[in-house]
Chain A
Amino acid sequence: MAGSAEYTGVDFYDVDGLLSEEERAVRDTVRSWVDEQLMPVIGECYIEGRFPRQLIPGMAELGLFGANLPEEYGCAGLNNVAYGLIMQELERGDSGIRSFASVQGALVMYPIFTFGSDEQKKHWLPRLAAGTDIGCFGLTEPDFGSNPGGMITTARETADGWLLNGVKMWITNGSQATVAIIWAKTGDINDVNSIRGFIVPASTPGYTGKDQKGKLSLRASDTSEIHLQDVHLPKNAILPKSGGIKSPLMCLTQARYGIAWGAVGAAMACYDEARRYAISRIMFGKPIGQTQIQQQRLADMLTEVTKAQLLVLQLGRLKDQGKATPARVSLAKRNNVSAACDIAREARRLLGANGILVEYHSMRHLANLESVYTYEGTHDMHSLILGQEITGLGAF
């Protein structure tokens, strides 16, 4: 039966030996949680196009939200490698669940922690860590994806606060969020330096979130359009330390870091499934794993999984030393997501007809990873970021 044998990860280069006892313990806890809580329901959620909301309290109880933020705000205070391992294990289950945790932690809690006032931090962070509030991050607009600096959502200062108008699109958690971090221009529409972040409770009049229908990818994740029509906010809704396009990009660097780890998890799941299938599926009187073509497939997959694992581990160590520059994060996001897409596709093919069924996981991962390839900076945009880093010449 698909997925019945227990998942034990993939570790060809004794990467475990490079992890601390706590890092391994964190990984094992999340792995067990995914086995027990997520795997039994993910197929059904995916088919029905529904995020498994019932899992939010359990995720919060384990401490999965904003796990690398300090304990004083109700977070676990983990290092960045342990945080990355959480993302890896969640995405082993499903990219949509990892997306949920990425958004809550890196795109909602992180900006409040980094750009927020003490009051904002004290009010929001414990509630977001506990999952009693769900957040979303509104940067992308219908006409501004790869170039978010071009946004046309505005925040105009009024006598007693702010007035927001605009449309955000492709917003993860958009419909179920109780609070949104919205990025808007406070000055001239051509002035990227006037971009500021705002904390917008979803209950504010004029704010509406609408599910985007027809997705063939990330189906177990909520992706929504957010309309902001004359949304009045108090003065203290602005994130005081945010300023310019650099602020949302700093958030994206955090999220991309987690995605680079997450992609490894999806790749490990697909490789593991392909390996088991190759050994057990008999065709022409022998296991398909005993043919040179399938062995090469598996060898390629294992090689790419191993490279990706080592890449993110070193990136995590660098991040803990404050040396994970945006370009270094770009390299890992670009490489690992692309490798994971290839691995998922090859795994799906190795599985033959069974590979298109939801009982197996590779095709779900494959479809999901196409979103991951596009969001948080498309693969192409990361090529351009690296290209600029290498040559000093911007080619956007």
Chain B
Amino acid sequence: MKIAVCLRRVPDTTAKIVIAGSGTVIDETGVKFVPNPYDEYAIEAALSLKEKAGGGETVVVALGGDAVQETMRTALAMGIDRGVHLHGTPSPDGLENARVLAEHLRGAGYDVMLFGKFAVDDCGQQTGAMVAELLELPCATAVTKLDIAAGRATVEREVEGGIEQAACALPAVFTCDKGLNNPRLPSLKGIMAAKKKPLEVTPVAPGAGSVTVAALALPPERAAGRIVGEGAAAVPALMQLLTTEAKVI
């Protein structure tokens, strides 16, 4: 079984975001970047699928500039076998990035192609599904369970009020949601081994597409919280404020 994990580099969710002078991108100085948290579920899924199958190959595929290689090495440190770095500047138009990824994935013999359900920075939530469409392959988004047996996948997805079960033939594309698994930490030996794993660099040029970022703005600052008391004694005051001040009850 050959499994691809498409990985995105995003700012750490705890990082303090500053908007750059241009007003359309964030200022990356001093910001720590990490693998997109949903992509970590995809990495873990790839590793455990391979472990369960007792063999196969796992490949991390990432589109981006030089810096994305450090993020890829996190995946390699966790245990992914090798990397394909599609070297180029991602487009603000998700479709253009999906085209580049699909171009690489097409004909490369992958049985399973995994994505995060969305990237926590721009929350586009489209790349995985677009890639599937471009490759004319089945796709299940936001899966919380993924089993592979005899060339078929069965998945579970959390839908309004319940769980949806679905099945499809391979090859197929899946985007991964929280709850799918518990991503492992890279071991120290894994970190040392990551440097030595193959990482192939292919130059790509995503098209400009039809989307541009007009402006970025930080969310309004939240006012400081207030502690009205502790335990049962605080309930009346809290009720009073929720009705008269916050007007939510």
Contact = CB atoms under 8 A, between A and B. Distances in A.
Chain A bound to chain B: yes
B191 interface: yes
B186 A29 contact: yes
A82 to B, nearest CB: 8
A26 B73 contact: no
A32 B185 contact: yes
B189 A71 contact: yes
Interface in A74-95: 76-78, 82, 86
Nearest to A63: B188
Contacts of B186: 25, 29
B73 A62 contact: no
Contacts of A32: 185
A63 B30 CA distance: 29
A391 B215 CA distance: 65
B10 to A, nearest CB: 15
Interface string B143-174: 00000000000000000000000000000000
Given A8-B14, A32-B185, A33-B185, 13 more contacts: A21-B73, A25-B73, A25-B77, A29-B185, A29-B188, A62-B185, A62-B187, A63-B189, A71-B192, A76-B188, A76-B189, A76-B192, A77-B189
A64 interface: yes
A77 B195 CA distance: 13
B70 interface: yes
Interface of B: 12, 14, 30, 70, 73-74, 77, 185-189, 191-192, 194-195
Interface string A54-65: 000000011110
Nearest to A280: B224
Contacts of B195: 22
Q: Which of A29, A36, A86 is packed against the most chain B CB atoms within 10 Å?
A: A29
18 contacts: A14-B30, A21-B73, A22-B192, A22-B195, A25-B73, A25-B74, A25-B191, A29-B185, A29-B186, A29-B187, A29-B188, A32-B185, A33-B185, A36-B185, A63-B188, A63-B189, A76-B187, A76-B189
B14 A78 contact: no
Q: Which of B70, B185, B188, B195 is packed against the most chain A CB atoms within 10 Å?
A: B188
Contacts of B73: 21, 25
A22 B191 contact: yes
A393 B188 CA distance: 43
B14 A61 contact: no
Contacts of A6: 14
Nearest to A65: B188
A71 B189 CA distance: 8
Contacts, number: 48
Contacts of A8: 12, 14
A134 interface: no
B188 A64 contact: yes
A14 B188 CA distance: 23
Please give me the 5 A-B residue pairs with the lowest Cβ-Cβ distance, nearest first: A63-B188, A76-B188, A25-B191, A29-B185, A76-B189
A189 to B, nearest CB: 43
A82 B188 CA distance: 10
Contact of A62 (B70, B188, B194): B188
Nearest to A36: B185
B30 to A, nearest CB: 8
B40 to A, nearest CB: 11
B13 to A, nearest CB: 8
A67 interface: yes
A71 B193 CA distance: 11
A78 B185 contact: no
Given A21-B70, A22-B195, A67 B14 contact: no
A22 B195 CA distance: 9
Contacts of A77: 189, 192
A67 B190 CA distance: 12
Contacts of B194: 22, 25
Contact of B188 (A21, A26, A36): A26
A194 B26 CA distance: 65
A223 B74 CA distance: 37
Nearest to A21: B70
A285 B12 CA distance: 34
Contacts of B191: 22, 25-26, 29, 76
A6 B70 CA distance: 23
A63 B186 CA distance: 10
Nearest to A7: B14
Interface in A1-33: 6, 8, 14, 21-22, 25-26, 29, 32-33
Contacts of A63: 187-189
Nearest to A79: B192
A60 to B, nearest CB: 10
Contact of B187 (A14, A61, A71, A82): A61
Given A22-B195, A25-B73, A67 B188 contact: yes
Interface string A25-60: 110010011001000000000000000000000000
A22 B192 CA distance: 7
B240 to A, nearest CB: 21
A86 B14 CA distance: 22
A78 B70 contact: no
Contacts of A67: 188
Nearest to B34: A28
Nearest to B70: A21
